[in-house]
Amino acid sequence: MNDTLAMVAATGLQTMLRPHSKPLDDAAFMDVRRRAVDHRLVGLVAAAIASGSLAVTPRQRDLAVADHIAAATWVLQLDQTLLDITHLFSTEGIPFRVLKGAAVAHLDYPDLADRCYGDVDIAVPAADFGRAGEVLRSHGGVRRFPEPRRGFDRAFSKGACFTLPDAVEVDLHRTLALGWFGLALVSDDLFAGSEEFTVGDHRLSALEQPTRLVHACLHAALGDAEPKLLALRDVAQMVLHCDDIEPSLRLAERWRCEVVVADAIVTSWASLGLMESPPLVIWAAGYRADRRSASRLARYRSDRRLHAGLALGGVSAVPGLLTKMRYLRAVLTPRRDDTRLPTRTRLRHGVQAGRARLRR
């Protein structure tokens, strides 16, 4: 079953994973279908059916068509929201970069239909983070988790998630990852350049290609304890079309995340059974992480991966003793009045994470 979904995720690429020339039985197909919806692979299921690599019965095809139309309808709603928000940001003079789904679908996939997404991701400069949040609130957005301490968002946070009245979730980013790697990267770099794409009649700014590639790797390797197939496909999509690897590698070195980039590429190639060996794949295969880098990455893969653990692990990337103390205070003892979990529970998570680190 994993192979079927991986084969679907590799649709259109040269893969060793074998196509399904005979339809799956209905139970197996329903399982693939359910997981494809969960993993936002519906567009690639449709592409696999259209290309003949996933044979289906007429009824299975009807179900896949319905899923694809539903996913596309949602994506169009997300794109409308994206236009609304970016218009408001532009009016307020807030610079932004569209991240992930919408940007990747438009800039990195040959066919938009293949890449579905489920929310809106936008990066804004740290200095504008508060104003951007106010804009989303004025648009009816409700922030899911409160700022742990005043000033945390601007200095340390990965970002914040807002839910709009029409149920669209907007992830407002200050940086691109939780924990150490998110704190180590230079967030101003996100706005150093841009690449534009068009939605309707509107031009929107995304990260430039080398930054987008490194972000795809951060998301694939660090976003979940088990890398998601769509995230791995995004990595493959960009690596295969990367003509000049030097800018991405320079950025990875500057952000101290070469270990993440190498890991994401190696995992992507192994999971999707890819056969081509472009220069970045050769680089990743030859990359050897030092112990410290490997240990930082391992924290994200742990079965006991906890937000508090990632946050505590990030303290060494925070410069200056006083700033470290401010960071730790916010992570371990967030404001009592508006935290989702009781302080005692968050402290317990922090202690657990600290013990786990000591055991390592």
Partner 1 sequence: MKHAPIAGGAWRRHPRALSRCTLGGTVVRAEHHDPVVLSPAGATVWELLAGPASIDDIVSGLPVEESAARSDVQRIVAELVEAGLLVEA
Per CB under 8 A, residues contacting partner 1 are 46, 49-50, 61, 64-66, 68-69, 71-73, 75-77, 79-80, 83, 111-113, 199-202
- Residue 83 or 356: which CB sits closer to partner 1? 83
Smallest distance from partner 1 to CB 72, Å: 4
Q: Give dist(CA 98, CA 139) in Å, integer.
A: 18
Return the closest-CA partner of residue 15 out of 5, 23, 24.
5
Print burial letters for 184-208: b (CB count within 10 Å at least 16), e (below 16). Answer: bbebebbbeebbebebeeeebbbbb
Instruction: Yes or no: say if 260 and 222 are a contact pair by the CB < 8 Å rule.
Output: yes
Pick the closer one to partner 1 by CB: 74 or 287. Answer: 74
Smallest distance, partner 1 to C-beta of residue 112, A: 6
User: Residue 36 CB, nearest distance to partner 1 (Å)?
Assistant: 13
CB of 233 to partner 1, least distance (A): 18
Token couple for 330: 């916010």
CB of 109 to partner 1, least distance (A): 12
Rounded CA-CA distance 236/42 in Å is 18
Q: Which residue has the tokens 């980013």?
A: 173
Dist CA 41 CA 38 (whole Å): 8
CA distance 4 to 272: 10
Residue 68 or 219 with smaller CB distance to partner 1: 68
Least CB distance from residue 79 to partner 1, whole Å?
Answer: 5
45 vs 262, beta carbon nearer partner 1 = 45
Q: Which residues sit opposite 160 in a β-bridge?
A: 172
**CB of residue 161 to partner 1, shortest distance in Å:** 24
Beta carbon nearer to partner 1, 43 or 334: 43
Contact criterion met (CB below 8 Å) for 148 and 156 = no
Give min distance, CB of 80 to partner 1, in A: 6
Our CB check for partner 1 shows the closer of 52 and 342 to be 52
Distance CA 240, CA 66 (A): 31
For partner 1, the closer of residues 49 and 308 by Cβ is: 49
User: Which residue do the tokens 């060494």 mark?
Assistant: 316
Give the separation between CA 320 and CA 82, rounded to whole angstroms: 37
CB of 202 to partner 1, least distance (A): 7
Q: State the angle between helix axes of 2-9 and 229-240 in degrees (0 to 180), rounded to the nearest 10.
A: 30
DSSP character string of 151-162:
THHHHT--EEEE
| Residues facing 204 on adjacent strands | 197
CB-nearer residue toward partner 1: 200 or 342: 200
Decide whether 113 or 331 has the Cβ nearer to partner 1.
113
Going by C-beta distance under 8 Å and a sequence separation of 6 or more, which residues neighbour residue 236? Answer: 10, 13, 268, 269, 272, 274
